[in-house]
Amino acid sequence: MRTLSGLWIDRSARPTLQDQLARQIRERIRNGDLAPGDPLPSTRDLASELKLSRNTAVYAYERLISEGYLESASRAGIFVSRAITMPRDSKRAATWKKNAPRSAAPVLQPHLTAPRPFRPCQPDVGLFPLLTWNRMRGRALRREGRNILHYQASCVAGLPALRENVATYLHDHRGVRCDWRQVVITSGSQQALFLLAMLLLKPREGVYVEDPGYVEARLAWRNAGARIVPGRVDAQGLPLPTPESGRISLIYTTPSRQFPTGVSLSLPRRLALIDFAAQNRSWIIEDDYDSELRYGAAPLPSLQSLDASGRLIYTGTFSKLLFPSLRLGYVVVPDALLDRFVELKHLSDDHLPLLDQATLALFLESGAFYSHIRRCRREYAERHALFLELFARTDLPLTFEHTDGGMNVVGYLPEGSDDAAWSRRLQEAGFDVPALSHYAIEPMRPGLVFGFTAFAADQLRVEFKRIRPILERAAKERA
């Protein structure tokens, strides 16, 4: 199949697909990327490469033939017209590439990719019951009719049915105490963190964060101009801020399973943190991103379930239990902040897609959500055990700690190792294993963060065979 590499099609752009195609081929001829006499792909090949209808390709070619850029030789196909002379000008060609729309994906490469092994925090989307989901989607459409396609001013905080179902789930499974009206549906937990940063932080205000910790949260605090105060995570989780920390307006923590180390915040620390927030009038954001995935024991109750001060903001996400591109998460907002939070949410996106929210509401209500969690927990527990077992059979210098669940495990390297160099080396071999230092603010014990949940047992075995010699070589060179 003949192709024409690097063409872009932007389905959201105003020019028709036919116009986009004709314009790009014309530009290439003008730039000298295509020379007189060069053959072009058949309309069938072009249409199949670009996922266009064949007619679109036919019309684009016909237009260029009528303009004199192309000619058709009845059996041999379509060629750049031999009657034109265009300078080969590499500078102009480079400009064309630079000006290609940034939002569009290069059509001849796969647009969307799956995570490479052993990328942390990735669910196995192959386990997701798409058929059930689509059934629920159909049911939601039938139930709501076309009204679900309108703007709905009453849904800025989320579809009420979904908020109610989330509140029930949080109450029953995470011990969260709230009225459903406090549940606001957000575009992943990231939007909740971003909006909370806008709402709660003024420049130079102190935000106390886990070190190592979730980078995207830190970026939200930084964006608000906050002063980031790192708290070194130890075997009990995040310690209390010290007097040297200065005034702390906000504490961000992942208490159920600290990201990325996997440590659970101990009960004394939980109580002390809540007390600190009450005494100092600080807010706590509890990011409960993967607490359901505790293997061999029931999930720990949330920090929010212990709080009586009203200073705790609880966020969660469906990215890990369902699938990340759904972009639905939630935040339980204390009454004192609720109206202002919803106003900000309104400015940010009015409301999130109602059809997805209605589908998710039914998915929760029908129990399909709970069956899916059970299935994931079972599968991931097996993968977790297998992953650790594979490494345990080697004498690689990696020590795994805090391994009671989650989506990731940290393999600690010997003191003095350059974990970023190990990670780069793995990346060159096609792996995606971030260094612990990537998540760190201050220098710390080196390690590598492995995710295992997105990879079925067979794939884990195959990838382990591939990664092992690379790790062994890295270890030998270090020794």
Q: Can you read off the two tokens belonging to residue 315? A: 């966020």
**Residue 406 binds ligand PLP, judged by CB under 6 A:** no
Minimum CB distance to ligand PLP, residue 327 (Å): 7
Binding mask 9-48 for ligand PLP (x = CB under 6 A): ----------------------------------------
- Shortest Cβ 123–ligand PLP spacing (Å): 10
Whether the CB-CB separation of 305 and 320 falls below 8 Å is answered with no
Q: CB within 8 A of 190, min separation 6: which ones?
A: 216, 220, 329
Per-residue binder mask for ligand PLP (CB under 6 A), 246-285, x = binder = --------x----x--------------------------
Number of residues that bind ligand PLP (CB under 6 A): 13
* Residues 70/39, Cβ–Cβ less than 8 Å: no
Stretch that binds ligand PLP, among 28-36, 54-62, 183-191, 471-479 (CB under 6 A): 183-191
Q: With binding defined as CB under 6 A, does residue 214 bind ligand PLP? A: yes
| Contact predicate 242/388, CB 8 Å | no
| 189, 357, 423, 437: which one binds ligand PLP (CB under 6 A) | 189
Is 357 a binding residue for ligand PLP by CB under 6 A? The answer is: no
Contact call for residue 289 and ligand PLP (CB under 6 A): yes
330 interacts with ligand PLP by CB under 6 A = no
Binding residue for ligand PLP (CB under 6 A) from 41, 188, 255, 446? 188
Least Cα distance to 449 among 393, 390, 407 occurs for: 407
Angle (CA) 240-440-293 rounded to 5° is 75
Shortest Cβ 70–ligand PLP spacing (Å): 46
Cβ closest to ligand PLP, residue 319 vs residue 453: 319
Instruction: Encode 37-51: b = buried (16+ Cβ within 10 Å), e = exposed.
Output: eeebbbbebbbebbe
Part of the chain binding ligand PLP (CB under 6 A), chosen from 7-15, 32-40, 44-52, 185-193 = 185-193
- Grouping H, G, I as helix, E, B as strand and the rest as coil, residue 46 is helix
Coil, strand or helix: which one is 279?
A: helix
Candidate segments 89-97, 317-325, 347-355, 414-422, binder of ligand PLP by CB under 6 A = 317-325
Residue 217: phi and psi, rounded to 5, are -65, -45
Peptide bond into 318 cis (omega under 30): no
Minimum distance between the CB of residue 120 and ligand PLP, rounded to whole angstroms?
A: 7
- State which of residues 304, 317, 359, 437 lies at the interface with ligand PLP (CB under 6 A): 317
Locate all alpha helices (DSSP H) within 147-266, ordered by sequence.
160-174, 188-200, 215-223
- Quote the distance between the C-alpha of residue 67 and its chain's center: 46
Residue 62 in tokens = 């016909």
Reduced to 3 states (helix: H, G, I; strand: E, B; else coil), residue 358 is helix
437 binds ligand PLP (CB under 6 A): no
CB 309 within 8 A of CB 282: no
Q: For residues 59 and 194, which CB has a smaller minimum distance to ligand PLP in the complex?
A: 194
Element (H or E) spanning 414, and its range?
Answer: none
**CA end-to-end span of the chain:** 50
Q: Does 59 bind ligand PLP (CB under 6 A)?
A: no
Between 182 and 254, whose beta carbon lies closer to ligand PLP?
Answer: 254
Residue nearest to ligand PLP (CB): 188
Does residue 439 bind ligand PLP (CB under 6 A)?
A: no
Structure tokens at 332: 């339980």
Looking at this protein, which amino acid is placed at residue 302?
S
* Position 329 contacts ligand PLP (CB under 6 A): yes
Which of the stretches 26-34, 59-67, 187-195, 450-458 binds ligand PLP when contact is defined by CB under 6 A?
187-195
Confirm or reject binding of residue 319 to ligand PLP (CB under 6 A).
yes
**Quick one: 41 or 434, whose CB is closer to ligand PLP?**
434
- Backbone angles phi and psi of 428, in degrees to 5: -60, -25
Name the minimum Å distance from CB 193 to ligand PLP. Answer: 8
Cβ atoms < 10 Å from Cβ of 91: 8
> Is 324 a binder of ligand PLP (CB under 6 A)?
yes
| Shortest distance (Å) from residue 254 CB to ligand PLP | 5
Q: For residue 369, is the peptide bond before it cis, meaning its omega torsion is within 30 degrees of 0? A: no
Per CB under 6 A, the list member of 287, 292, 356, 419 interacting with ligand PLP is 287
- Rounded Cα gap, residues 107 and 218, in angstroms: 34
Distance CA 304, CA 41 (A): 61
Q: Which is nearer to ligand PLP, 93 or 344 (CB)?
A: 344
Residues contributing to the site for ligand PLP (CB under 6 A): 121, 188-190, 214, 254, 259, 287, 289, 317, 319, 324, 329
